[in-house]
Amino acid sequence: MARILIVSTSADDMNGHATGLWFEEFAAPFNLFNEAGHDVTVVSVKGGDVPIDKASLVKEILPKFQDARKALKDTASLSTVDPSSFDAVYFPGGHGAVVDFPNNPQVAGAIEAMVKKDGIVASVCHGPAAFAHVMIDGKPFVEGRQINGFTDEEEKSTGLEEKVPFLLETTLRNEGATFLTSDAGKEFAVIDGNVITGQNPASSEAVAKLIVAKLATV
C-alpha cells in the first residue's frame, strides 16, 4: 500500500468566470486509487470545501462518485501536510488550477519533495499548471521532460482563452518541456520516468492507471 496525496485547487473564479475543480479528474482517480488499496489523502490549496466547476457535475457520473464528492468537503490545506511522507502527488485540473497552482510555494514544495525522494508527480488537463515556473536545482522542473496537458487548441475550443492567465501548452513549452499532444478531447497520457501527465478529462483514468502501475514497481 502506497500513500497518495491529491491536491485540488481552491479557486472558484478565473477573471470573472466561475470555475473550480473538474470533478471527474479528481473522482475517477480517487476511486481507482482506493480500489487498488492505496492510502489516499485529499487536500486543497486553502482547505475547506473544494469548489467544483458546475459544468463537470454530469448527473450520469455522480452515482459512482459519491464517496469522492464527500472527500471534497472540509479538506485540509496543503500547508498542513508533509508531502515528503507520500509516495505520489497528483494534481487534478479544472480551470481553477491555472489560478492558484502556479507561483505557489506549497505546490512547488510538494513537487520538489517528490523529486527528491524519487516519488511520483502526476497531473491531468489543467493540473500541470502546478509545474509552471517551478525551479528545481536551478532549472525549470519541466525542462527536458516529456509531458502533456490541456493543449492550446483545446483551450481555444472552450472559448476561455481570453480568461485564462496563460496558455498551459505554450507556457510549459517555453520552459523547456517536450509537450506531446494527441487529438483534442481524446484520451492521452504520457509517462516520463516518475512524471505522469494526461491531456484532458478523458485521460483521467489512464493517468490513474499509470500511477497505480508505477507504484507497483517501486
CATH of the domain at 130: 3.40.50.880
What's the CA gap between 33 and 214, in Å, rounded? 12
In whole angstroms, what is the distance from residue 171 CA to residue 209 CA? 27
C-alpha cell read off for 192 = 516520463
Which of these, 202, 199, 143, lies nearest to 171 by C-alpha position? 143
pLDDT tens digits along 151-167:
999 999 999 999 999 99
Q: What is the pLDDT of residues 134-147, one digit of tens each?
A: 999 999 999 999 99
What's the chain's length in residues? 218
**Mean pLDDT for the stretch of residues 92-105:** 98
* Domain coverage including residue 67: 3-215
pLDDT of 59 > 90? The answer is: no
pLDDT of residue 113: 97
Determine the pLDDT at residue 177: 98
Residues 204 and 121: their CA atoms lie apart, in Å, by: 14
pLDDT band at 125 (very low <50, low <70, confident <90, very high): very high
Residue 109 in this model has a pLDDT that exceeds 90: yes
Question: What is the total count of domains within the chain?
Answer: 1
For position 26, what pLDDT does the model report? Answer: 98
pLDDT at 20: 98
**pLDDT score for 202:** 96
Residue 62: pLDDT above 80?
no
Q: Quote the DSSP letter at residue 216.
A: T
Local confidence band at 64 (pLDDT 50, 70, 90 cut-offs): confident
pLDDT at site 58: 83
Nearest to 91 by CA among 213, 208, 217: 208
Q: What's the pLDDT score for residue 94? A: 97
| pLDDT tens string 6-18 | 999 999 999 999 9
This prediction has a pTM of 0.97
